[in-house]
Structure 1
Amino acid sequence: MLFNLNWLSQKIKKGKISILIILNGILNSQAQEKPNIVLFLVDDMGWQDTSVPFASGQTILKQKYHTPNMQRLAEQGMKFTNAYATPVCSPTRVSLMTGLNAAHHKVTNWTLKKNQLVDEKDSILTPPHWNVNGMSPVDSIPRTVYATPLPTLLKKQGYFTIHIGKAHFGAIDTPAENPLNIGFDVNVGGHAAGSPSTYLGEKNYGNAKGQYSPPWGVPNLEEFHGTKVFLTEALTQKAIDALSQPIQEKKPFFLYMSHYAVHVPLDKDDRFLQKYLEKGLDAEEAKYAALVEGMDKSLGDIMDFLEKKNLEENTVIIFMSDNGGLALSPPRGGEAFTQNLPLKSGKGSLYEGGIRVPMIVKWPNLIEPKSESSQYIMIEDFFPTILEISGLKNYKSVQEIDGISFFPLLKNSALKNDYRKLIWHFPHKWIPTDAPGINYKSAIRQGDWKLIYDMKSEKKELYNLKKDIGEENDLSQEYPETVNHLSQLLGEQLEKWNSQMPFNKIKNKVVPYPHQVLND
């Protein structure tokens, strides 16, 4: 059992931990060598939707939100300032569960109904034949990516696996619609839909009272129907209840706490709403901020429970969001595409506002408290990392994993790799109108450089994120060699994965890969 000696000495000096508790932790760890893992995933939470500073210096948005438990987690763990997901939900969640990049697994947009497209119509481009049915644990379902899911491997490692909240892995009437079919022992709230029709218990979370009403009603919460329990709170209570079985059986557990918050609809969470109205936020932004704080309370409740059960020392907590913050107004208040400043744009975009997300990891026996990593990482990295945390080595999966474990970073936050390339691919029209970085884009980051490829115009943009985090200064004309280099890397990788490109109806041909397009 490894202990962070500096962390222990500080705790003892401050009177926050005793030798008896330390010995108790050691004994518990000997009884259960594998650490418990809590993956706390938030929906649509932006990089700045928190009082934890992920940007250097003070920002206006940091003062807007109140997330004391995220602050608590960051003080006890490691903050990642360059963590990335995909621009919308299902691609992120499939990457998480398979270890594949979205351009590789081809679930490149959000999913719902079997074999039905969700793409908006476009006068120039037609989307490719993507995996509209999501992921699948069996190879007989058309238009899915067949893969060995993360929880299936964790179960083989002896973990009790719990799914709470949003799933959004597979379309209706496909196996991955139900998290129980991809390796979870317990499922509460997870089904094919990616959002609730309402967070309100008074409205039965979108169901007819006492029964599940697809596609938008949240399942498995009938005991709260007709009550004033907000959805975020109901899911938290069910998560804590579900932990009783593995604790009693002394089994390591994997809790996937996957909140619907802070996705629309912006329902009123009356526990927190008034304080934000008194701050002067408009009605919609006050509701959004209340959703954020309700999510933060859930995090605190789970952390408190782990401490109460003396499980804190042997539990890893990973906090992440599935994409950047929503920046459409309405439903958000204020001017559109300003809600994630200093990052540009928001959800659905390949600008930083749509893909850079808050991330924190706590592991008391390994991670230096209040540490910070600036190394860029990607959502598919969670798959190999969580398996390495569990102690599972030489595992077999039907898919070849794209993710790279960030386990070494947990031990040494100073590690850097500027040669690695991150890839994003969104060959779709997400919203009816074109907006900053949204609709039919691909992108690559290597080191501080980021290239964005517009599939409609076949033009490229180049940014230096170290000097220009807001992506305000396109350097493509000044650094043509860098454009060519990144275009080659991006295009070759997409080609290797056989990543699908849209069809240009005007030119009557498939849109070329970025390395096949010459600069002006």
Structure 2
Amino acid sequence: MHYRNPWRKLLLVLLCGGICLSLSAQFRDPRPKKKQPNIIVFLVDDMGWEDTSVPFWTQLTEKNKRFRTPNMERLARQGAKFTSAYATPVCTPSRVSLMTGMNAARHGVTNWTSPRKDNNSDAPDTQVGAADWNYNGFSPVSNVPHTVYATPLPALLKTAGYYTIHAGKAHWGAMGTPGANPYNMGFQVNIAGHAAGHPQSYLSEENYGNMPGKATVQAVPDLEEYYGSGTFLTAALTQEALKAVNDPVRLQQPFYLYLSHYAVHVPLQADKQYIQRYLDMGLEEPEARYASMIEGMDASLGAVMDYLDAKKIADNTVIIFMSDNGGLSLAPPRGGQPFTQNAPLRAGKGSVYEGGIREPMLVKWPGVTPPGSVIPQYVIIEDFFPSVLEMAGIQLYETTQETDGRSFVPLLQQPSVTDSMRTLIWHYPNKWIPDGGPGINYKSALRQGRWKLVYDLLSGQTELYDLETDITEKNDLAAKEPQRVKNLTRLLSAELQRRHAPMPLNRATGKPFPWPGQQPL
């Protein structure tokens, strides 16, 4: 068990217990007990850093001008904008990190999980054997093969008195394992969450995939009342989520809403309310569909914020906005040239370059976040776990797992604080797509301060970038900074070994590829 409070403090409480109890009868604290805030995590799937009219860089880019996200702008005005927020290259690892506070190198769910049990989703490779990763995902129950066992965030919140609601994409574990079902994670309500990582259809005209004789494992459950109604999946999930929130609001019970949209993952299907604007702009059809899905997602955020205002609970509600990985940059299904959709960031989903891991992140905590603040300190998806617990006022708790995340609450209180010594790592010992791409397949990376190391797990090749002067990662400084490369490679190796990270196998020898910096096989 891992405890999140010093034992010394607990011992002190026990020693003074008798004195404190006797005094409490005479001296009661007249101050009202601080009310637990409602907490909303608004998670988007496959949304890129620039896929919004809110600039997360030092300037407004041409891509920013393409999208219309007025409610993200509204949230940024009311809260804090993180300009260096990170997730993992693909979806399931990020979602497991958020749920457990563990880095992907530690929890071992390093790739997206198949809906089907015992199905390794890695693309086939004739020379490289699959790493021994947890391809059945995350489990709140021990001894499930090829899963990581951990204490989930909503279970801790539920124990602390929160009403816990899940709406949308789950994708933590395969069918037939406990991790597939949000109820097993501590959620009291589940709306449309199951093992699949994308919807079969966003269209009510297609019953969100539940057409007789045509349904697959990706068909979205639970939304029968919207069939044929013309309601896009994003809007249907929003309406159902807000219905579920009505119960705790009526009972004046704090709630945790995890609104995890399937948008903007493929299939790219037009949200008819918004697409014409983008066609009129001259965007090619795939990009117009994509932009319409972004605007529909933003309308969902607006509906949530309007609801909080109408119920007069906005002042006691935290909203955290995040994407689970970088924007998709494969063309098709996107338009344009492959791996350019997130420029000036390099590459996209599946890559350890910035385009695959840097995300739009906004946080509003009334009374804590200075409105309109900008936070330059880099953070990562596993930081959500301790941050949400701190927001909820949960100080003493225990977990099965050792966690890696660090609370970003101090940054919300003092946005200008930075820590250039903090080390972030990414580990992707998997093969995502057959043909690869920039920073895709069998890569690890590390960031410390302004410096970022990219490491090829198969060849041992290293790249070094100064993100303060080169956000595009075009100027490889490895040859000019050999000692820095050596030091960061050692640090990456130590972190991967400390967390027992899975490594790909060399088929010729049957052995794992060496840790970074060690001699090749």
Match in the other structure for 2:407: 405
Q: In structure 2, do the counterparts of structure 1 residues 192 and 281 end up closer, same or farther at CA, with 3 Å as the change threshold?
A: same
Match in the other structure for 2:463: 461
Q: Is the 8 A contact 2:54 2:64 kept in 1?
A: yes
- Cα RMSD for the two superposed structures: 1.5
Match in the other structure for 1:195: 198
- 2:136 aligns with one of 129, 133, 141: 133
Q: Is the 8 A contact 2:460 2:517 kept in 1?
A: no
Match in the other structure for 1:152: 155
Q: Is the 8 A contact 1:32 1:252 kept in 2?
A: no
Match in the other structure for 1:330: 332
Return the letter of the residue paired with 2:134: N
Match in the other structure for 1:15: none
- 1:119 aligns with one of 119, 122, 125: 122
Match in the other structure for 1:289: 291
Q: CA deviation at 1:124?
A: 2.3
Count residues in correspondence. 489
Match in the other structure for 1:363: 365
- Distance in 2, Cα, partners of 1:415 & 1:444: 21
Match in the other structure for 1:109: 111
Q: CA deviation at 1:517?
A: 4.3
- Distance in 1, Cα, partners of 2:486 & 2:78: 43
- 1:90 aligns with one of 89, 92, 102: 92
Greater shift in the superposed pair: 273-282 or 500-509: 500-509
- Distance in 1, Cα, partners of 2:512 & 2:38: 47
Q: CA deviation at 1:141?
A: 0.8
- Distance in 2, Cα, partners of 1:178 & 1:320: 22
Superimposed CA distance per residue, residues 3-59 of structure 1 (whole angstroms, 9 cap, x where no aligned partner): xxxxxxxxxxxxxxxxxxxxxxxxxx9687000001000000000000001011121
Q: Counterpart of 2:205 in 1: which secondary structure?
A: helix
Return the letter of the residue paired with 2:340: T
Q: Is 1:339 aligned with 2:341?
A: yes
Match in the other structure for 2:228: 226
Greater shift in the superposed pair: 507-516 or 265-274: 507-516
Q: Is the 8 A contact 2:89 2:352 kept in 1?
A: yes
Q: Is the 8 A contact 1:44 1:326 kept in 2?
A: yes
- Distance in 1, Cα, partners of 2:195 & 2:408: 30
Q: Is the 8 A contact 1:65 1:292 kept in 2?
A: yes
- Distance in 2, Cα, partners of 1:212 & 1:380: 37
Q: In structure 2, do the counterparts of structure 1 residues 32 and 414 end up closer, same or farther at CA, with 3 Å as the change threshold?
A: closer
Q: Which runs of 5+ in 2 are unaligned?
A: 1-30
TM-score where L is the length of structure 1: 0.92
Q: In structure 2, do the counterparts of structure 1 residues 517 and 448 end up closer, same or farther at CA, with 3 Å as the change threshold?
A: farther
- 1:176 aligns with one of 175, 179, 187: 179
Q: CA deviation at 1:123?
A: 2.9
Return the letter of the residue paired with 2:156: L
- Distance in 2, Cα, partners of 1:59 & 1:418: 27
Greater shift in the superposed pair: 505-514 or 315-324: 505-514
Match in the other structure for 2:17: none
- Distance in 2, Cα, partners of 1:270 & 1:30: 49
Q: In structure 2, do the counterparts of structure 1 residues 237 and 212 end up closer, same or farther at CA, with 3 Å as the change threshold?
A: farther
- Distance in 2, Cα, partners of 1:182 & 1:343: 35
Return the letter of the residue paired with 1:97: M
- Distance in 2, Cα, partners of 1:367 & 1:212: 48
Q: Counterpart of 1:500 in 2: which secondary structure?
A: coil
- 2:209 aligns with one of 206, 212, 235: 206
Identity %: 56
Q: Is 1:47 aligned with 2:49?
A: yes
Q: Is the 8 A contact 2:205 2:230 kept in 1?
A: yes
Q: Is the 8 A contact 2:384 2:405 kept in 1?
A: yes
Q: CA deviation at 1:226?
A: 2.1
Q: Is the 8 A contact 1:85 1:378 kept in 2?
A: yes
Q: Is the 8 A contact 2:117 2:176 kept in 1?
A: yes
Return the letter of the residue paired with 2:70: P
Return the letter of the residue paired with 2:298: D
Q: CA deviation at 1:140?
A: 2.3
- Distance in 2, Cα, partners of 1:212 & 1:390: 44
- Distance in 2, Cα, partners of 1:212 & 1:253: 37
Superimposed CA distance per residue, residues 377-406 of structure 1 (whole angstroms, 9 cap, x where no aligned partner): 010000000000000002100001110011
